[in-house]
Structure 1
Amino acid sequence: MDVSGNVPPVQGQGTSVPTAPLSYEGVWRFTAPATEESVPQARRAVRDLLGRQGVPAHQDVVHSLLLIVSELVTNSVRHAALLSPQVAVEVAIGRDWVRVAVEDDHPYRPKALEADFGQTGGRGLLLVREITRESGGVCDVEHTSTGGKVIWAALPLTAPVGHPAP
């Protein structure tokens, strides 16, 4: 899976020729206020984008992506809103994968993917990691050049092992 956005070359006649992007490939980005209302709006926007672009994603992948978007936007709203009144959601779609990312201006990079099981909350990033792993994808947290952070997950469009095709 190439999450960098690069299109792999096609071999032919001794030279590498880039393949033409498919109609559903591209990158879309939108911002929303860091408020609770933005969580379902972001989820709907991603769902509508995937449908509008005709992305051939397995239904389980779409459900996983929407849950990941909900968790990541919720985390930004709950933990970063004071320093980041806006959150950005980016959807990058490649030939065989889709990547969702949520960016905010808060400098704290969570120790994602760890949870204190004595608490009732705080498991959102653990859930993101497990959903991503189960789907055969990857996720990470990175600093932005402006001092904030972006948390992303990339999933293959195909059905995970053990799941039938749609």
Structure 2
Amino acid sequence: MQVLQVQLEVGADPAEVGRARRWARSRLAGSGIEVDEPVAETLILLISELVTNAVVHTGCPAVLRMLLPGVPDHTPGTVRVEVADRSARPPKQRHAEGDDTNGRGLELVDGLADRWGWQPEGGGKSIWCEVDRCDPGVAAVTFDGVSYGDSDADADVAYEAV
């Protein structure tokens, strides 16, 4: 399977987060991930959190990279998002309390991504996350570690474990 890597330089201005989201949406659509797929909104939210963290907490420019699977045949696979910045300081996951207005970003990343982590890159670091994209023809849900659903399921049905 081929993988396409695309990247965007993001300035040290919080207004750049919106530009990063718009750019990412267009790249996802170009790779065959339609805006109405649940994975698309999950990826946009993850990108928004990682870019915001990089810009706000370092005050430096960053680079957003996406590794998109299945290009040009649009097969399922793992989408990897990376945000590299110039700060060598490791990310710190915090736990926000009640009315706190920040401190939830990495908790959100941890809850939405299939995997995430960070690594040193040059004089700074790269924070990455991965989301596995299932075959759009398969509707499934995982609850308490058990996966339900099969390839004969109606792909227009969304499941939510509450």
**Structure-2-length-normalised TM-score:** 0.74
Partner of 1:142: 119
Does the CA-based 8 Å contact 1:56-1:157 persist in structure 2? no
Q: Distance in 2 between matches of 1:76 and 1:102?
A: 7
Does the CA-based 8 Å contact 2:17-2:52 persist in structure 1? yes
Mapping 1:48-127, distance limit 5 Å:
48-55=26-33, 59-81=37-59, 84=60, 86-95=61-70, 96-112=77-93, 114-117=94-97, 119-127=100-108
Q: CA RMSD in A?
A: 2.3
Mapping 1:29-44, distance limit 5 Å:
29-44=7-22
Give me the identity figure in percent.
Answer: 30
Counting strand residues as a fraction of each chain, which structure ranks higher?
Answer: 2
Q: Distance in 2 between matches of 1:142 and 1:117?
A: 28
Q: 5+ unaligned residues in a row in structure 2: which ranges? A: 71-76, 143-153, 157-162
Does the CA-based 8 Å contact 1:57-1:157 persist in structure 2? no
Spell out, residue by residue over 1:29-86, the C-alpha distance to the aligned partner (whole angstroms, 9 max, x if none): 11021111110110111110011222479711111100000011111111111xx2x1
**Structure-1-length-normalised TM-score:** 0.72
1:129 counterpart letter in structure 2 = D
Partner of 2:131: 155
Q: Distance in 1 between matches of 2:96 and 2:29?
A: 37
Does the CA-based 8 Å contact 2:117-2:129 persist in structure 1? yes
Higher relative CO (Cα under 8 Å, sequence separation at least 6) belongs to 1
Does the CA-based 8 Å contact 1:58-1:157 persist in structure 2? no
Does the CA-based 8 Å contact 2:21-2:44 persist in structure 1? yes
Q: 5+ unaligned residues in a row in structure 1: which ranges? A: 1-19
